[in-house]
Amino acid sequence: MNVLDRFALHGRKALVTGGNRGLGKAFATALAQAGAAVAIAGRDTDTTAATVHAAAADGLTLVPLTADITDDADVARMTDEAIDRLGGLDVLVNNAGTCFHNESWQVTDAQWAEVFDVNVRALWKCSLAAGRHMADNGGGSIINIGSISGLIVNRPQWQPAYNASKAAVHQLTKSLAAEWAPLGVRVNAVAPGYVKTEMAPVDRPEFRRYWIEDAPQQRYALPEEIAPTVVFLASDAAAFMTGAVLVIDGGYTIW
């Protein structure tokens, strides 16, 4: 087999949560470009429809799903719909997430609960639903979107709930990888640094000193620069990888 063929995803079926914008949109696009059949799930039907329409204009097909992944019944329905409409499920990208910037004294119980509900519990439930199908059907690849925030404390903004949630994602990735390896299910994570999305205001001048100038590469990333690593982890090129947390941060965590 030619080495580049190992990165191809022809015949694979993938589901991306939060796949209708930002990083998730870039992940879904890249997976489709690599040959996978891709479904994207989001709460906002209109945003999802716009993403599907834009992809079609570029010659790519994305299957739209509407789901609130903090609702267990919705997770089950979403997973079943993805399996039915794609003809199976080989790849899950747990991308959906949320964040609040607030110092610890000001973090409300509702904010803490929402961050962990979306970033950890929903990821856990989606992994269980997809992982069971994969285990029963020859294996698959689960890719969790963590963050450098699970490795460091960001500055100048305070975000203790988000940081703790992403550290939990990294450890859950390793725990599921260890347990599910005998079942043929690989579980890995990507830990991006600062990426230009709706969620990260990387262009704001008050953040430049810490977010940009502290990074060896002296810049932020675009979502399209993170997406190839997701394709890699979904593919046979990463067949001997599980339990890994791949940091993509322009060198930010070196120092």
The tens digit of pLDDT for each residue in 60-91 reads 999 999 999 999 999 999 999 999 999 999 99
Q: Is the pTM of this model over 0.75?
A: yes
Spans of all domains in the chain: 3-248
State what percent of residues in the chain have pLDDT above 90.
Answer: 96
At residue 174, the 3 state secondary structure works out as helix
pLDDT at 159: 97
Average model confidence (pLDDT) across the chain: 97
Instruction: Report CA torsion sign: 61, 169, 167, 161.
Output: positive
The tens digit of pLDDT for each residue in 225-234 reads 999 999 999 9
Superfamily for domain range 3-248: NAD(P)-binding Rossmann-like Domain (3.40.50.720)
Average pLDDT over residues 41-55: 98
Give the Cα separation of 67 and 193 in Å (integer). Answer: 27
Instruction: Name, in order, each residue with C-beta under 8 angstroms of 199's C-beta and a sequence gap of 6 or more.
Output: 22, 97, 99
Average pLDDT over residues 184-197: 97
Give the Cα separation of 203 and 224 in Å (integer). Answer: 17
The model's confidence at residue 1, banded by pLDDT at 50, 70 and 90, is: confident
Report which of residues 149 and 198 the model is more confident about.
149
Cα angle: 106, vertex 211, 156; to 5 degrees: 25
Give the Cα separation of 116 and 98 in Å (integer). Answer: 9
State what percent of residues in the chain have pLDDT above 70.
Answer: 100
pLDDT at 201: 83
Structure tokens at 153: 């404390």
Euclidean distance between the first and final Cα of the chain, in Å? 40
Contact status, residue 17 vs residue 24, Cβ threshold 8 Å? yes
Residues annotated as catalytic (active site), given as ranges: 162
